[in-house]
Amino acid sequence: MKKEEKKDVGITVDKDEFSEWFTQLMLKADLADYTEVSGCMVFKPNAYVLWEKVISECDKKFKKLGVKNAYFPLFIPEKFLNKEKEHVKGFSPEVAWVTHAGDTKLTEKLAVRPTSETIMYPSYSKWIRSWRDLPLKINQWNNVVRWEFSHPVPFFRTREFLWNELHTVLASEKEALEEGKDILNAYKEFCEESMALYGLAGKKTEREKFAGGVASTKLHYIIPNGRVIEGPCFHYDGQNFAKAYDIKFLDKEGKEQYGYQNTYAISTRMLGTMFAIHSDEKGLILPPNMASNKIVIIPILFDDTKEKVLNESEKILKEIQEFDAFIDSRDNYKAGFKFNEWELKGIPIRIEIGPKDIEKKEVVIARRDTNEKKTIKISEIKKEVKKLLEDIQKNMFAKSKTLFESKIEKASSLEEIKKIIENKKVGIIPLCKDEKCEEILKSETGGAKAVFIAENLKVKTEKCVICKKKADYFVYCGKTY
Amino acid sequence: MKKEEKKDVGITVDKDEFSEWFTQLMLKADLADYTEVSGCMVFKPNAYVLWEKVISECDKKFKKLGVKNAYFPLFIPEKFLNKEKEHVKGFSPEVAWVTHAGDTKLTEKLAVRPTSETIMYPSYSKWIRSWRDLPLKINQWNNVVRWEFSHPVPFFRTREFLWNELHTVLASEKEALEEGKDILNAYKEFCEESMALYGLAGKKTEREKFAGGVASTKLHYIIPNGRVIEGPCFHYDGQNFAKAYDIKFLDKEGKEQYGYQNTYAISTRMLGTMFAIHSDEKGLILPPNMASNKIVIIPILFDDTKEKVLNESEKILKEIQEFDAFIDSRDNYKAGFKFNEWELKGIPIRIEIGPKDIEKKEVVIARRDTNEKKTIKISEIKKEVKKLLEDIQKNMFAKSKTLFESKIEKASSLEEIKKIIENKKVGIIPLCKDEKCEEILKSETGGAKAVFIAENLKVKTEKCVICKKKADYFVYCGKTY
């Protein structure tokens, strides 16, 4: 079936059939499209404008924390990539290699950046001389490539994706860890306040931490199919990279020290997370704080009252234009078709206005998140939509929190956690630090892993669900993308 | 010599020694740095913030013209690149090829985009069905790679650079050419009003036009070493790509038609152009409309009056904070050092304030473009700096126009144009359409080419400077980067 024809009929499956539902949502809400480059997709304007929102909102927060944007080369010489042993082990199986320019074979092959530590840090090493050059906080919004061989999922796992990568150097561990809290909190605020997404920060186990780092903390979200999404991340690298890339500074006492480093990122997978958590069978639902158009005005057009209704629509538009409202005055589509279309595309508020409404000095207002409709006085429209947009934003966040909590169950045995995973949920289990237990857990559960350590739960006498020895911590266990 | 030490002494050569001057400017004003990836550079925060300004200002103009941003894959399968014969011939010698992922050889090698027609147009072909889907105007701000083998010059010719690429599809040639004027004009306005750069639009000869297109028009700038810089461009592609990539639509009469296409771009080379044209031996000069910080306040600090001077500086800052002013209150550097540093970095206005100034209710204000200083009343500071910023912007544009005009000379023989090129200028010469004459011109002048056709000069009886047959047009002839 051609796309245009399909689009007209809306999403044809329940959200429970998550994979098919998500694919239809992506295609029919015009968010993305497949390409012939395996695992790479087009971010269409409807999705890209949301990514621009991620950039602008996060940048505002970063700037307050002293971060500056820059741009480093896409290509990394092989010898640079190889300097930090754990790092190269983690990334090299997925690296896309440039070997030729035109017909000429390059003398050294070049990695397409999977992440930019190894190209940025040689520059950092040159630029940093003394404590006066610290902290150094440089961020890039760019594209990276990780040629994963597992099944690609649009937005969640694509071989090329967009992200920010913020790499900082500080004079002490204390400063580094404080900065970590601040930046992770900036991400959390953005995801909560703009994306209306409830998530949980958690530290990774040794097995799951960033290749080459000391410790990793990420924000975690759970989408309706029970998958845990690893969102914005903070990697504390200690002096590991500083030693490998010779990032040294003279401290206030004139002594040479290695810098302490952090790395942070938020990627386009958060768009997928937002789409997956909020949307429904009618299509996309966008939180007002993310939507570029928050309100669509749909005039109900009849030949004899058309002008009057359009005039009144224009007046209303002026009144509420600060909410990026627009009028859909196309006369080749019926109102019902337009309702469906803008529901599919996720506009938070729809205002319907017909000749009878005008007589009563009223309009009908429909909210996308609950699909509720009500009639309001035109004279109060600005106040009403402002309040409604705030309500929608709050309600969407509350719903995402409820969803998250409904997906969590405690388990104390392998059998229990296996059932939880089968039921497309996430378990909390006691586990020991032995990486072998994590491996067994993964194979026994069909791929669920110890995603992060539960911070607020302390183990007492609990036993590891695998080896039955004393547990070291509780972990959230689930499948990820 | 280490960079830090070098920085303190400022630029050590005259601007006449352009190449060395430009390199020092780039390094000492902290605009960019070399990397070990041949031909690829770091855009440091001081330059990248200016690129962000290019993006935001051009985007505003694009949006008014119905353009939407999106993101397409970095990689292009070889078979896609090969569809438009002229296009692939133009670009394939410079393509960086990805051949492996990890240790696995790819079944089809992938081009790192040198430009994205060949990855975008297969999607356009899928998306466009009828005249209702037109015009389609999709833009990307991204990174592209062209592995040129000629000597790289930071900003002007780097193997990876940043740009926008705007690719549109329209229903008729007429609409396409009208759009062309609008977008080219948007670029021109931006370069004039924000970058304070005078340039000239001109059509390319057949030999120099875009590979695969019908006609190319670019904006041209001349930098102090006499090189012509090809700035923002507009390529009219007619139906060439539409036929190669099967971009068809049903017109209002239900007849199938191929679309008409345009392509537009502005790249990071315009930053180089702006730096090269405006700056001087003291360092960077930025037009106020581009500078992220337009004013630096430098308090003259003595132990006994420090607090008073800092307080007054804060008051002044509040008064003028809309101009992104900041105070340099570092007490480990002398005022003279700070003057030099911010001159080097190109802050348009410096305000000096010492204890004696405060007594007289005055400050000293210095403009970076002319280095003139004057004393103004503190009570009039807001009005004065506003006017001064406008003056600087205007003056810089006027100067750039004067520079451009001073570089142009008419010639009517090969001998004359050779002298003009030797003198680091640009000639206007009569030329015929024979591509062989263009080739001879290039080799005889040591690499100068027919850069663009003079629009306002019509040939009468003039002879081609090469073959002496009747000339077809006047062209601007010069060396480019």
- Report helix, strand or coil for A87: helix
Subunit contact B73:A37, Cβ cutoff 8 A: yes
> What percent of chain A lies above the pLDDT cut of 70?
98
DSSP code at position A467? T
> What is the pLDDT, as a whole number, of residue B9?
58
Over residues B291-316, the pLDDT tens digits come to: 999 999 999 999 999 999 999 999 99
- In the predicted model, what is the mean pLDDT of residues B163-172? 98
Give the minimum alpha-carbon distance from A92 to chain B in angstroms, rounded to a whole number.
6
- In the predicted model, what is the mean pLDDT of residues B404-417? 97
- In the predicted model, what is the mean pLDDT of residues B259-268? 98
> What is the pLDDT, as a whole number, of residue A191?
98
pLDDT at B2 over 60: no
Subunit contact B101:A95, Cβ cutoff 8 A: yes
pLDDT tier for residue B150 given thresholds of 50, 70 and 90: confident
pLDDT at B6 over 90: no
Subunit contact B37:A119, Cβ cutoff 8 A: yes
> What is the pLDDT, as a whole number, of residue A236?
97
Question: Do residues A254 and A166 touch, judged by C-beta distance below 8 A?
Answer: no
Tokens describing residue A88: 């190269």
Residues 14-33 of chain B with CB under 8 A from chain A are 33
Tokens describing residue B140: 């990307």
pLDDT tier for residue A9 given thresholds of 50, 70 and 90: low
Subunit contact A75:B45, Cβ cutoff 8 A: no
Residues 60-119 of chain B with CB under 8 A from chain A are 68-77, 80, 92-103, 109-110, 112, 119
Distances, alpha carbon B195 to alpha carbons A161, A374, A465, B217, B271, in Å: 32, 51, 65, 20, 9
Distance in angstroms (rounded) separating the CA atoms of residues A20 and A14: 9
Whether B43 has its CB under 8 Å from any CB of chain A: the answer is yes
Of A6 and B338, more confident: B338
Give the minimum alpha-carbon distance from A56 to chain B in angstroms, rounded to a whole number.
11
Residues of A in contact with B112 (CB under 8 A): 74, 98, 112
> What is the pLDDT, as a whole number, of residue A4?
42
Residues of A in contact with B167 (CB under 8 A): none
Subunit contact B75:A160, Cβ cutoff 8 A: yes
pLDDT tier for residue B92 given thresholds of 50, 70 and 90: confident
pLDDT tier for residue A212 given thresholds of 50, 70 and 90: confident
Subunit contact A96:B97, Cβ cutoff 8 A: no
pLDDT at B3 over 80: no
- In the predicted model, what is the mean pLDDT of residues A33-38? 93
Of A367 and B82, more confident: A367
Q: CB under 8 Å to A244, separation ≥6 — which residues?
A: A83, A84, A85, A87, A121, A212
pLDDT at B342 over 50: yes
pLDDT at A5 over 80: no
Q: The complex's ipTM?
A: 0.95
Over residues A315-338, the pLDDT tens digits come to: 999 999 999 999 999 988 999 999
- Choose the closest CB to A70 out of B43, B80, B110: B43
Neighbours of B178 (CB within 10 A): 12
Tokens describing residue B250: 């049903």
Residues of B in contact with A110 (CB under 8 A): 37, 96
Distance in angstroms (rounded) separating the CA atoms of residues B310 and A221: 48
**Could you tell me how many residues make up chain A?**
481
- Choose the closest CB to A145 out of B43, B74, B123: B74
Which of B71, B121, B146 has the highest number of chain A CBs within 10 A, making it the mutation to test binding with A? B71
Tokens describing residue A109: 């092959």
Residues of B in contact with A74 (CB under 8 A): 40, 112, 143, 145, 160
Over residues A131-166, the pLDDT tens digits come to: 999 999 999 999 999 998 888 999 999 999 999 999
Distance in angstroms (rounded) separating the CA atoms of residues A195 and A275: 10
- In the predicted model, what is the mean pLDDT of residues A203-208? 93
Burial (CB < 10 A; 0-12, 13-18, 19+), residue B458, is: exposed
Distance in angstroms (rounded) separating the CA atoms of residues A436 and A84: 24
Whether A44 has its CB under 8 Å from any CB of chain B: the answer is yes
Distance in angstroms (rounded) separating the CA atoms of residues A369 and B390: 48
Residues B412-421: contacts with CB under 8 Å, at least 24 apart: B412/B462, B412/B463, B412/B465, B413/B465, B414/B441, B414/B444, B414/B465, B414/B466, B417/B441, B417/B445, B417/B448, B417/B465, B417/B477, B418/B444, B418/B445, B420/B477, B421/B226, B421/B445, B421/B446, B421/B448, B421/B477, B421/B478, B421/B479
- In the predicted model, what is the mean pLDDT of residues B275-291? 98
- Choose the closest CB to A96 out of B41, B101, B122: B101
pLDDT at B288 over 70: yes
- Choose the closest CB to A147 out of B101, B119, B143: B101
- Choose the closest CB to B112 out of A33, A76, A98: A98
pLDDT tier for residue A89 given thresholds of 50, 70 and 90: confident
Which of A2, A71, A125 has the highest number of chain B CBs within 10 A, making it the mutation to test binding with B? A71
What is the strand order of the sheet A104-112 is part of? A75-77, A104-112, A96-101, B96-101, B104-112, B75-77
Question: Do residues A294 and A40 touch, judged by C-beta distance below 8 A?
Answer: no
Phi, psi of A398 (to 5 degrees): -60, -40
Residues of A in contact with B48 (CB under 8 A): 68-71
- Report helix, strand or coil for A171: coil
Distance in angstroms (rounded) separating the CA atoms of residues B262 and A120: 37
Tokens describing residue A471: 């547990």
pLDDT at A249 over 50: yes
pLDDT tier for residue A210 given thresholds of 50, 70 and 90: confident
Over residues A100-112, the pLDDT tens digits come to: 999 999 999 999 9
pLDDT tier for residue A7 given thresholds of 50, 70 and 90: very low
Please report, as a single letter, which amino acid is at residue B331: D
Residues of B in contact with A41 (CB under 8 A): 73
Question: Do residues B227 and B19 touch, judged by C-beta distance below 8 A?
Answer: no
Which of A79, A97, A126 has the highest number of chain B CBs within 10 A, making it the mutation to test binding with B? A97
pLDDT at A464 over 90: yes
Whether A470 has its CB under 8 Å from any CB of chain B: the answer is no
